[in-house]
Amino acid sequence: MRLKAWALSLMLGRIVEGTILQNGQVRETDFPNTRINNPASYGFKTYDADAPELSYKGRWDSKKVSYWSAPGVVFGFSGDTVAITFGQNTVNGTLIGYRVSGMDWIFTNVTVGGTHLLVTPETPGIGETYPVNPQRFEMRVSNWGYGVQIDKVHVGAEESLIKIPPYKRTIEFIGDSLSAGDFQTYESLSSFAYGVGEGLGETEYYVTAFPGICVTDQECWGNPRGQVHQWFYSSDTSWRAAQIWGDTPEPWDFEKMETTPDIVVINLGTNDNNVANNVSAEAYVDAYKKLIQGVHGKYPNAQVVVMELWLGFYQYGNSYGQSLGFQQELEDIVAYFNSEEYLSAPRIWDGTTKTTKTLDTPSQPFVHYFRTKGILQHNDIGPQYHPTDVGAIKVASHLLQYIKLTFGWDLIATGPEVFHETLYWNDQDSY
Ligand SMILES: *[C@@H]1O[C@H](CO)[C@@H](O)[C@H](O)[C@H]1NC(C)=O
Ligand SMILES: *[C@@H]1O[C@H](CO)[C@@H](O)[C@H](O)[C@H]1NC(C)=O
Ligand SMILES: *[C@@H]1O[C@H](CO)[C@@H](O)[C@H](O)[C@H]1NC(C)=O
C-alpha cells in the first residue's frame, strides 16, 4: 500500500531471493535446489510451452509469461519425472510452489533459462495411484511482482503429458496488495484470495491483483494505470510487464479463458482512499461502477461480491478502533446495481475500447456486499499494514463460509494443504 514499503520489498526480494522473513527473523526453509546442469543427459521427452496438455491458470501472455498473483500451470503426467525449462522473461530466483496431486507444496527458486527437475521418484505422492489419477502436477508463482516464462516441459523418455480438464467452478479476485498476498510469508500463496480459491476445493481461481493499484485509472504508488483499465489486459502494472510490452500490453482474451468465472470478488479502494493518491470519491465511484459493468459485460452470468474495506486499526483510548474507507460509496455502488434503474437497462463497459453499451435485455441482481467488520482485530495486521498469515486465514475462512451460504457452493476440499507452514501447535499437555 505504501510506496516505500512496496519498493523496499521489491529490492529486498531481488537481493535475498529465497529468504522468508517471519517477525523480522529469517524463517528456516529447506528449499531444494532443483536446477540441473545438463538436461540433455536425462533423455527427457520434451513438450513446447503451447502443448495442449498444459493448462495455464491465472493470467499469462501469448509468450507464456505469468502475471498478477498466484498464476500457475497444471498438467497430468505418466512416470516419475517432471522438469521445466524457464524462458528468458523469467525473473531470476522467483520462488515457485509445486506439488504432485494432493501432497504438500514444495518451494524452489527457479532461474532464467534454467531447467529445473521438479519431480523425481522421491517426490511425495509419486507411485501412488489414488485418489488422484492421472497424477497431477501443479505449479504456482509465489511472488505477486515476479514472474516466470515457461519454455519447455519435460517428462521421462517413454512417458507423456496428459490433459486434465478444468474444475467446474471458477472464482476470480480483482484487487490490490491485500488480495495479492503482499507481506504474507508465502506472498500470493498465503493470501486470503488464494486461500478462498484453493480452499473451496475443485475450483479454478484467478487472482487478478497487484500491490498499490487503484480502481481509478491513474498513477497510484508507481502503478501507471488503475484496475478499471488494467483488468482488461493480460499483464499487470509491474516494471517487468512494462519491459516486455512497453505501452502496448496485450488485451486479455476473455474468449479463450478455459472457464468463465461464476463468482468475482472485488476488494479495491484502499489505495484510492489514501490521500497520497488524491482520488476523489466521485472518481472512485465512477471507476468502481465501470469495473463492475466490465465484469458484467465479459461474464454476464457471474455473481459479483464487493468487499467492505478495512484500512487498519488504531489505539482508541484504552482500546482499539478500526479505520474504514468509502463506507457510503460502497453501499451506494451495491444499491445502484440492485436498482430497477440499472437492472432494467444494464450498462456494460469495455475497458479496452473505452465504450459503454446499454443491453437490450434486463439483468437479474448479481452484486452482493460482503461486510468484513469484526473479522480482523488490531493484531491481525503486521507492521507493513497488511494482514498477517493469521489475518489472511481469518478473512479467507469467513469469505469461504459467506460463499457457501450465499451461493450454495459446497466446501469440497477435504485435506490437501492450502496454507503452507501454518502448523502452530502445542504438544506439551501442561505448563
Ligand atoms: C535461490 O536463489 C538465490 C539467489 O539467486 C540463491 O542464492 C540460492 O542459492 C537459490 N536457492 C536454491 C535452492 O537454488
Ligand atoms: C540466476 O541465478 C542463478 C542461481 O542463483 C545464477 O547461477 C545465475 O547466474 C543467474 N542468472 C542470471 C542470468 O543472472
Ligand atoms: C488533487 O486533485 C485535485 C483535483 O484534480 C487538484 O486540484 C489538486 O491539486 C490535487 N492535489 C494534489 C496534492 O495533487
Q: What H or E segment, with its residue span, contains residue 153?
A: strand 150-155
Is 200 a residue whose pLDDT tops 90? yes
Mark whether 195 and 295 lie in a shared domain.
yes
Q: What H or E segment, with its residue span, contains residue 203?
A: strand 203-209
Which-ligand-closest: CA of 37? Answer: 2
Please state, rounded to an integer, the average pLDDT across all residues of the chain: 94
Count of residues for the chain?
431
Do residues 174 and 227 touch, judged by C-beta distance below 8 A?
yes
Report the pLDDT averaged over residues 158-176. Answer: 98
Rounded to the nearest angstrom, the distance between the alpha carbon of 185 and the centre of ligand 1 is 17
All three cell numbers of 352: 479496452
Of 119, 141, 162, the last residue of a domain is 162
Of 209, 89, 189, 223, residue with least CA distance to 147: 89
Which-ligand-closest: CA of 18? Answer: 1
Is 146 a residue whose pLDDT tops 60? yes
Rounded to the nearest angstrom, the distance between the alpha carbon of 281 and the centre of ligand 3 is 13
CATH code, 207: 3.40.50.1110
If DSSP codes are grouped into helix, strand and coil, which group holds residue 83? Answer: strand
Of 172, 17, 182, residue with least CA distance to 96: 17
**CA–CA gap between residue 289 and residue 342 (Å, rounded):** 11
Ligand 2 atom at minimal distance to the Cα of residue 35: 4
CATH code, 46: 2.60.120.260
Q: State pLDDT tens for residues 330-348.
A: 999 999 999 999 999 999 9
Parent domain of 125: 31-162
Residue nearest atom 3 of ligand 1, based on CA coordinates: 17
Mark whether 82 and 178 lie in a shared domain.
no
Rounded to the nearest angstrom, the distance between the alpha carbon of 99 and the centre of ligand 2 is 24
Which-ligand-closest: CA of 280? Answer: 3
Residue nearest atom 6 of ligand 2, based on CA coordinates: 111
Mark whether 158 and 189 lie in a shared domain.
no
Mark whether 134 and 252 lie in a shared domain.
no
**CA–CA gap between residue 101 and residue 416 (Å, rounded):** 9
Q: Which of 92, 108, 110, 149 for mutating ligand 2's site (highest number of atoms within 8 Å of CB)?
A: 92
Query: Is 417 within the bounds of a domain?
Result: no
Buried b (16+ CB within 10 A) or exposed e, 340-359: eebeeebbbbbbeeeeeeee
Higher pLDDT, 70 or 2: 70
Ligand 1 atom at minimal distance to the Cα of residue 31: 13
Query: Is 1 within the bounds of a domain?
Result: no
Rounded to the nearest angstrom, the distance between the alpha carbon of 323 and the centre of ligand 3 is 23
Is 15 a residue whose pLDDT tops 60? no
Rounded to the nearest angstrom, the distance between the alpha carbon of 396 and the centre of ligand 1 is 31
Rounded to the nearest angstrom, the distance between the alpha carbon of 216 and the centre of ligand 3 is 14
Query: Is 125 within the bounds of a domain?
Result: yes
Sign of CA dihedral 100, 254, 65, 238: negative
Regarding the beta carbon of 112 and ligand 2, being less than 6 Å apart is answered: yes
pLDDT attached to residue 369: 98
